[in-house]
Structure 1
Amino acid sequence: MKKSEYLIVGAGPVGLILSLLLAKQNKVSHLLEARKKNDAHSDKRALALSYGTKLILENLGIWRLLEKKITSIQSIHTSQKNSFGRTLLSSDEYNLPALGYVLSYGDLSKALEDEISKSSLIKVSYEFKVSAIKNKKDKSILYSLTKNLPLEAPLLILADGGKNTTDLIENLKRKETSYNHTALVTKVISEIPPNNVAYERFTSMGPIALLPNGPEEFSLVWTGKDKDIQALAKNNKKIFLEKLHEHFGDRVGRFLDCKEFITFPLKKIVLEDFPKSNIVVIGNSAQTMHPVAGQGFNTGIRDAYALSKLMNETELAHIGSELFVNQYYASRKPETKKTLFFTDSLVSIFSNDLVGLSATRGFGLSLLDNFKPIKKFLVNKMSFGR
């Protein structure tokens, strides 16, 4: 039976970053990825990176490789359709170089994979399909239909984004709740260029987020009730852009063009129970959130950082023990719980079109713009997850 120090299922950004953090501690890891090599490089989905995630990537030496492909968010403008209220957050106000950053999934994956290829402490197996996982007293054993030899390790980390791997593990339970919402994602070009401003617009058709993505384009994420977004996605480009302008307003002028639409259902997944030893679940495998606040990806990166930190502080013989696993989840539970509550609160408040609530929200946004402690809380939540 082939042995590997630490097994990481999933070579997306969360798994890749974890392996690099472990390599800095001189720990050996083996990444197991179902996709073909380089498949992720063409993925144009926009990621909203927090300032805290930037600091982690800087520590790994990755940020300098990405600087030409990153768009910074210098301010965030939040408003509501048919309302006078609005809130403006600015990086200058909080002495931050930026409130966040926008980068494609493919560009981040390529930079991380290029860095990993230089390390003798990290192995990656692509097209690796996990078929079974057994948890023994002092180790986990992972089996694959595509590879001949099973792999064992004192600690197995699931970071594959919630793909069915979690179903293979005894005593691992996740609660799944549908938001009954769908997200529509595309890129748009408007008359007025982004100028490093992100917009969040709350409408009767759901929240609209525009993230600056390069000098001319915005990445659009429009979330709303399933039937509304599905109907929206059936429109041709001309009608879609007209509807977007109708709901978003004139702040960036008219919308001139858009790329192909991608839609997907939104759900919340929360880890309820987990194996007592040898296995840890991180990232979207552990918690999946509504994208309204852009917190899910960055929470997963903080999972990886917290796990690597605990591994660095723990004697090798105790990594993967029951005490170790409990310490990890105890360290992450408060932030994860608060972030899920924060995200769900935004969904409940701003996706509800009850009579009278719209005016209250507008007044609240106006009040928020003049109440610095709450604005500082929002900046800390978006930048550092706290």
Structure 2
Amino acid sequence: MNRTPDSQRHLVRISSAPEDLAGLSTLLAAAGSAVGDVPALLELAKAAAAAAPNPGEGRTAFLWEILASVTAVDVAAGRAIEPHLDASAILAQAAGQAAIAGWDCPDFDDVPFDGAWGVFAAEAAGLRLKAQPADGCFLLHGSKPWCSLAAQLDHAVVTAHLDDGTRAAFAVDLHAPGVSFDDPQWTSRGLTEIPSGTVHFDAVPAVPLGDSGWYYRRPGFAWGGMGVAACWLGGAVAVARGFRDSLLKAAGGGREPDQLALAHLGEIDRMLTALTGYLARTAARIDAGELADTGAWSEALRVRGAVATAVERIQTLVSQNLGPGPLAFDEVYGKRMADLSLYIRQHHAMRDDAQLGALTLKGDDPW
């Protein structure tokens, strides 16, 4: 029993007018057709970039609605489009920023935003990517871990270490000579089509984006982190809607939901309603310029923590109620649960809460 047309049942509304969201139907239909097809997912990312605003430009809620709605169709689709949209925002935010002293590289404005982009900023023990000056520009040397879909992308924003011990962001052509890819040893049962592996750079030219440390100082770093949380929210909404639909189907067959099922559905409703309201207010604050300083990161930690906690709680409630059946026999449900479980591990749980607690102790709190 569907309460909305198939073309719109994956829409996740945060605050935009329903008529504005209705225009996403074509994008969501494409997401449904692209499930499991990586080239199609990357084409979807480019189509999403054409429709999506950058955060902080007055329509942040709509950006998050795109991310959430695509993820509600398929978690891997959301995971594929989010870094491409983030790269678009990073390049836009770099406009007018001071460059690393002494560089004489091609202007980053000349970097064409075509093809598919990734954002590679993770670090891992034993791996280090360095940016070293060469002929007034920079060459990348070393390795970068956790580079999702790298071998199938065209460009990436990567972070690298400078000689002074700081880090900076660079735009790099992943087809350039000197770029090589490890075959990812990806045994995950979640996000099977989005493998992450290590990329090696051997004297690869790179265009700096901003000066040393700019990538992490900019409020857009926090805004991008909240965009990932919007994806998590979309996955949780899909799990919740599937649970509701299963209860309706059972009731139609004469098996009414018991008090526990109804109580759990009510708890899920409370969590999702609170989260969408929270994201709506946060998006409005970003667009109003209220989260354009260091306080943006505290808010990002709150948003990400609140969404990740709700996702795990919703998954627990639904799996306890539905039992092993759908995990064993429902491909869409099983894929969604596995994909979402891996995706939210980008949240560092208590370590992120500890970081937020340290900021709170310094007085960075709204209460």
Q: Could you say which TM-score interval applies, normalised by the shorter chain?
A: under 0.3
- TM (norm. structure 1) is 0.26
- TM (norm. structure 2) is 0.27
Higher relative contact order (CA 8 A, sep 6+): 1
Which structure carries more strand by proportion?
1
Which structure carries more helix by proportion?
2
